[in-house]
Amino acid sequence: MSAGRVGVGVLLAALVAAPFVPMGGMRQYIFHVLIQIFVWSFIGGAWALMGRFGLVSLGHGAFLGLGAYTTTLLWNFFGLTPWLGALVAVVLTAALAVIVAYPCSRFQVIGHYFGLVTLAVGEVVRLLIIAERDWTGGSLGLTVRPAGADSLVAVQFADKRVFYYAALVLWALGLWVWHRVDRSMARSAMEAIGEDETAAASVGIHVTRFKIAITVLSAVLTAVGGIAYAQYIAYVNPDTLAGIGVSLRIVFAVVLGGMYALLGPTVGTALTIALAEVLRVVFGITYVGMAETIYGLLLIVFIIFLPSGIYGSVRDLLRRRPRSQPAAPVTA
């Protein structure tokens, strides 16, 4: 375990020191990719908080979009700083999460049905954003109003390094929340609920309360991720921040990495973003759609051949080896 700790320390030090490494002309691009990986890993981790307990949401775009649009609209129309806007957004997202989660757990909507209900919620948010086009710009999206100069109040900075550190902190925060949930009593309770709700209730677990709590936590973190992404990109669009497309992308990245491991969502997100970037660079704009085509094909192949995710499979392989050695003398 100590070797693992050292490895983590080195990795963290490298990530913190990265902005001071000379990278020449690639600097902006590399930071752009890294920031995206951190933010989407954070969002993936937030999704996995629910997903690992069998609450497979196909509509996290709803929370993402609600968060991003709330802060952006409040800033654009009322000049409210995104810091306070984020507070409003978090409250709204938590409310939406309760509105979805309470009836879902009350009426035992689970499995396929839970997935499809959340999918509908995601589509409702996307369509509402498009329908209110006088405010939101409809499907054309909306640019975050520029503050003119670097401003902490507006959370706008010309230097990508500021966003890099912010995204790194956000990502670490997400891992910490995951770790806390993983070590808590709530985890055992949620696992019991995921296995069999009736049995869990019969041993005194308050099913509804736990489900609502984990959904609200997951939704709020997702909204924070959406706000961070909107502030960084300075542009919001209903198709990239709400609806079925982005919701499925989040789930994909997490399942690809492995949703039962701390770093699973990060590994999956890093791989999907890296893959998308490589394909985009290789095919450029000459073959529109080719990059995404290969992306889709690889996702199918990965899911068929690595059902427990890349990180999960690799970790299982590594764990199996040391265990098989001490077992050998016993049988001999």
Partner 1 sequence: MIDPIFLAEAAVNGLLLGGVLALLALGLNLIFGVIDIVWIAYVDLVMICMYAVYFLVQVYGWPIWIGSLASVGLGALLGIAVHVLIISPILGSAPVNQLLATGGLLFFLQSFATFLWTTDHRSVRLTLPTLEYGGMFLSFARLVAFAVALLVMLGLFLFLRHTYIGTAIRAVSQDREAMALMGANPRTVYVVTSAVGGALAGVAAALLIIQYSVHPFFGAAFGPLTFMICVLGGLGNMIGAFVAAFIMSEIISIGGVVWSTEMGYVIAFVIFIIMIFVRPGGLFARRA
How many residues line the site for partner 1 (CB under 8 A)?
Answer: 45
Torsion of CA 194, 195, 199, 201, to 10 degrees: -10
Spell out the long-range contacts of 172-181 with Cβ–Cβ below 8 A and sequence spacing 24 or more: 173/42, 174/41, 174/42, 174/45, 174/46, 174/221, 175/45, 175/262, 175/263, 175/266, 177/45, 177/49, 177/217, 177/221, 178/45, 178/48, 178/49, 178/262, 179/262, 181/49, 181/214, 181/217
Q: d(Cα 8, Cα 148) in Å, to the nearest integer?
A: 39
- The answer to the question of residue 275 lying near partner 1 (CB under 8 A) is no
Applying the rule CB under 8 A, the residues between 278 and 297 that interact with partner 1 are 287-293, 295-297
Q: d(Cα 103, Cα 258) in Å, to the nearest integer?
A: 29
- The answer to the question of residue 127 lying near partner 1 (CB under 8 A) is yes
Q: Is residue 118 within a helix (H) or strand (E), and if so which, with residue range? A: helix 112-131
Applying the rule CB under 8 A, the residues between 196 and 255 that interact with partner 1 are 244-245, 248, 251-252, 255
Q: How far is the CB of 208 from partner 1 (least distance, A)?
A: 13
- The answer to the question of residue 159 lying near partner 1 (CB under 8 A) is no
Q: In this chain, which stretch among 4-12, 68-76, 127-135, 140-148 interacts with partner 1, using CB under 8 A?
A: 127-135
Applying the rule CB under 8 A, the residues between 84 and 123 that interact with partner 1 are 103-104, 106-109, 111-113, 115-117, 119-121, 123
- The answer to the question of residue 135 lying near partner 1 (CB under 8 A) is no
Q: Residues in the site for partner 1, rule: CB under 8 A?
A: 51, 56, 58, 103-104, 106-109, 111-113, 115-117, 119-121, 123-124, 127-128, 130-131, 244-245, 248, 251-252, 255, 287-293, 295-297, 299-300, 303-304, 307
